[in-house]
Copies of this chain bind each other. A is one copy, B any other.
């Protein structure tokens, strides 16, 4: 009797020559994308591939429209002039949708990462509503930007979301709220757009975007933001680190003190109780109302008072800074990043938070000579999640150019 064994989920798939082609196509495309117009010789030297291979690979990429010749360039000396090839950014369009409470935002980008203008449109609810409504909202947002022009390949639709639909199916509260189910619902509503649909967590997407904005290669980068809630994510070697249940990098409920305020989560001394917008506003004497409108006005008022040097406001931020510093101390002890990016309100507040952060990290700096940790404000503002979703979409094309069809 023949025993049929299926490969386990963690068993790698067999490798064949197609995988080799994929990897080398990706290598060449990334090189051209990163180094601008360049000759085949330069690509060969930069990638370690041989001239002959580069010729074939570039020809393949030209067939797929991802790369084009942009004329010759005599390099000073004699000899056959170099024929420069360059990325064709417009060949691939990536679309990202971010669903918030009351409105959705949609944005596209080309392969070079140049984004189109973001478009906002009202929706029927938020990420916490029925999943069918969610799919409707996403589909109409995508419809609003219209179909891609002929000859433009639609690479991927990426949905940035926070709420009960999670990035990985195994973390979803129920099968109906799994990423794959939402993706299928959206795809069904967009029959004219036959492209893969991904769901990413919005905080993780924002982290990825800020990581790319740093323009560092590799390393470990942590991202912490505070808006409605405190969230965060960890980027390791350019990829989101999920952890076992998709909760890695979520610093909101890190304990800062053994006996701090009681958090909504039930624990005591969570970071959230020190640095959330609500906590800071209350500590500054500006709390009381929960309406979004009032909160916005209160934030403006807080900013005025901070700039005016009002002692109560300064004390509130100082308290938050020390708490955040302690959290970063924990973060550093566990994951040893070299960079922390602060997003949301934390980016605006950083000047007033920094003394507390530095005080907490000073000891560590002294004890470990090799230790270094840069703490900087995020540069992308509220659109960070959208930009990250677009970057995730582009990454798929760069990693597997063979998925873009050949022929004009």
Contact B14 A367 (CB under 8 A): no
For A3, what are the chain B residues with a Cβ–Cβ distance below 8 Å?
Answer: 42, 45
Task: Report the bound CA distance from A243 to B235 in whole Å.
Answer: 11
State how many angstroms separate the Cβ of A242 from the closest Cβ of chain B. 8
Contact B7 A46 (CB under 8 A): yes
Instruction: With CB as the reference atom, state the residue of chain B lying closest to A248.
Output: B336
A24 close to chain B: CB less than 8 A = yes
For A363, what are the chain B residues with a Cβ–Cβ distance below 8 Å?
Answer: 263, 265-268
State how many angstroms separate the Cβ of A133 from the closest Cβ of chain B. 23
Bitwise, A182-215 to B at CB < 8 A (1) or not (0) is 0000000000000000000000000000000000
A372 close to chain B: CB less than 8 A = yes
Instruction: With CB as the reference atom, state the residue of chain B lying closest to A246.
Output: B336
Task: Report the bound CA distance from A66 to B27 in whole Å.
Answer: 34
Which of the candidate stretches A289-297, A306-314, A325-333, A346-354 sits at the interface with the other chain?
Answer: A325-333
Query: Interface size bucket, A side?
Result: 35 or more
A49 close to chain B: CB less than 8 A = yes
Contact A243 B20 (CB under 8 A): no
Contact A220 B244 (CB under 8 A): yes
Instruction: With CB as the reference atom, state the residue of chain B lying closest to A253.
Output: B333
Bitwise, A249-282 to B at CB < 8 A (1) or not (0) is 1111111111000010111100000000000000
Instruction: With CB as the reference atom, state the residue of chain B lying closest to A266.
Output: B363
State how many angstroms separate the Cβ of A224 from the closest Cβ of chain B. 11
Q: Given A23-B12, A370-B173, A42 and B5 touching (CB < 8 A)?
A: yes
For A52, what are the chain B residues with a Cβ–Cβ distance below 8 Å?
Answer: none
A76 close to chain B: CB less than 8 A = yes
A124 close to chain B: CB less than 8 A = no
For A360, what are the chain B residues with a Cβ–Cβ distance below 8 Å?
Answer: 255, 267
Q: Which of A19-45 contact B (CB under 8 A)?
A: 19-20, 23-24, 27, 41-42, 45
Contact A333 B12 (CB under 8 A): no
Contact A266 B368 (CB under 8 A): no
For A253, what are the chain B residues with a Cβ–Cβ distance below 8 Å?
Answer: 329, 333, 364, 367
Instruction: With CB as the reference atom, state the residue of chain B lying closest to A12.
Output: B27
Tell me the A residues contacting B by CB distance below 8 Å. 1-8, 10-17, 19-20, 23-24, 27, 41-42, 45-49, 53, 75-77, 171, 173, 217-220, 234, 236, 241-258, 263, 265-268, 322, 326, 329-338, 360, 362-364, 366-372
If A1-B76, A14-B23, A267-B364 are given as contacts, then 8 extra A-B residue pairs at C-beta distance below 8 Å, sorted by A number, are A3-B45, A244-B338, A245-B371, A247-B332, A247-B368, A253-B333, A255-B360, A331-B334
| 11 contacting pairs across A/B (C-beta < 8 A) | A6-B46, A15-B23, A173-B369, A234-B335, A253-B329, A253-B367, A254-B329, A254-B333, A255-B326, A255-B360, A266-B362
Question: Which 4 A-B pairs rank lowest in CB-CB distance, beginning with the nearest?
Answer: A243-B336, A267-B363, A265-B367, A244-B338
